[in-house]
Structure 1
């Protein structure tokens, strides 16, 4: 009788643990529902990647939330989203918070090169902007540079590039990258600061109209002028080129890691290329015939 009870208890305990594991892991790369987050500056490439992944895996549903980069990171720590897209480097405090709350080694998954772009009205006489001018204007009460908001990826990245905190900078705000483009003609002395991904899709009519409605300023650094074209993104010579990457709180090979792997491999990198960005893991090869 005692042996029978022990066997029953062992079987019950095994089934209980199995059920608990099933309750926890409700998705895998081919099925399930998750939420990820990305800054509005990366919305186009994030949406393109998730749409393509779901088309290839029809039993999956990936909900894309658009929110400021800093707030997306907080949601990741609180397990409100499964993965996020970042562009700036995390601070040491943020890395410690990730380690403490997620209890995982953080493995950034780099998948694209985007850029912060400076734009002016088509009628502006300005033809370029220097690194020195950018630094000067961000300390001026004139607030000539227009960003898409605080806590945003564009502001965070520029501040980090200049070794400043966003709170140290002086700037104007128009909410949203597209709104900056649409409003910049009303402010002939202002300079809009937007993401390249907002205007980078080569075959998209809306993107083309936005691109053609403003003048994109080359950035002068060390007496050399750099435009945010693919060649300067590929070599990271454009001063405000930035690498986009995923981080996740998913501790197993589930749907988030499936999307991340897809984004970093060939099919995902083709999607990145069609967005007009530089794929991080696949570089264009030139073959010379002699």
Structure 2
């Protein structure tokens, strides 16, 4: 009888050990995969950070997917992503249950076709253009030609921030052309003489001209000094406390090494950064 009890005790111990080992394997497997989903503006930055992080941590796999800021919030809240990314400030409701880590800052550039003679707009003029009150370039010192207004899709962090800065809220704009990505907006503006659009400043290429806003161009110095008004944060979102791998990746992103990667990342891999910037400042 005593031997039987010892035998049963051995089975229980082995079973518990098996559960412990299985848990350790599962936990290690979960910690070794970090999925990042959200803003297309943050995507290239996240990809650059992930690439270097995986070099230093070969046992960790980091995947990065784009979409928009709303997708980033929904994905991290639902648990389908380890980290959500946004390129705008969150509302109180959106931020509930989420930890926010600002990894950088980006400005929004207003762009036109290189042939457009207008070099700068005031915020009032820009606001009136995107409300349809100004519809011809001659109204702002340009040629007698209708303005083709291009906006981003609903849910885009770039659009939400742009409208929040200009109007204090989102504005229905059903009569304008919609570009579903930063690159489509730039492409449309580059081939349309009378077009105007807005994109991440760090995604600019040589096919477009950047407008000054209130005579101030989006240079690094003007952005840092707050002279240029169209700018927004780049944020990583984590639900709850995350785990050791997520925490370590966040810490890496915020470290001097990670910040150097953020600051050096070209959002558009085809960009030479030799775009035309106009304005007084």
TM range (shorter): 0.7 to 0.9
Q: Corresponding residue for 1:214?
A: 208
Q: Corresponding residue for 2:159?
A: 155
Structure 1 Cα separation of the partners of residues 71 and 18 of structure 2: 40
Compute the displacement of 1:232 (Å): 2.0
Contact 1:39/1:67 (8 A) holds in 2? yes
Compute the displacement of 1:275 (Å): 2.2
User: Any idea what SS the aligned residue of 2:99 has?
Assistant: coil
Contact 2:99/2:240 (8 A) holds in 1? no
Structure 2: where are the runs of 5+ without partners?
Answer: 136-146, 268-281
Contact 1:38/1:67 (8 A) holds in 2? yes
Task: Give the paired residue count.
Answer: 251
Compute the displacement of 1:10 (Å): 7.8
Q: Corresponding residue for 1:111?
A: 103
Q: Corresponding residue for 1:134?
A: 126
Alignment TM-score, normalising by the size of structure 2 = 0.77
Structure 1 Cα separation of the partners of residues 176 and 199 of structure 2: 13
User: Any idea what SS the aligned residue of 1:41 has?
Assistant: coil
2:26 pairs, out of 7, 18, 23, with: 23
Q: Corresponding residue for 1:183?
A: 188
Compute the displacement of 1:241 (Å): 1.5
The CA deviation string for residues 31-68 of structure 1, in whole angstroms up to 9 with x for no partner, is x2221113222332222111111122222211111112
- Give yes or no for the alignment of 1:263 onto 2:257: no
Q: Corresponding residue for 1:234?
A: 224
Structure 2 Cα separation of the partners of residues 153 and 74 of structure 1: 13
Contact 2:44/2:266 (8 A) holds in 1? no
Compute the displacement of 1:260 (Å): 1.4
Compute the displacement of 1:270 (Å): 1.0
Structure 1 Cα separation of the partners of residues 76 and 171 of structure 2: 21
Contact 1:42/1:198 (8 A) holds in 2? no
Contact 1:42/1:195 (8 A) holds in 2? no
Task: Decide which structure has the larger Cα Rg and report it.
Answer: 2
The CA deviation string for residues 146-194 of structure 1, in whole angstroms up to 9 with x for no partner, is 1232211111111222311244686421232122222214332221111
The CA deviation string for residues 69-109 of structure 1, in whole angstroms up to 9 with x for no partner, is 1122111111111102212111122133xx2xxxxxx3311
Alignment TM-score, normalising by the size of structure 1 = 0.75
User: Any idea what SS the aligned residue of 1:255 has?
Assistant: helix
Alignment of 1:189-208 (within 5 A): 189-199=194-204
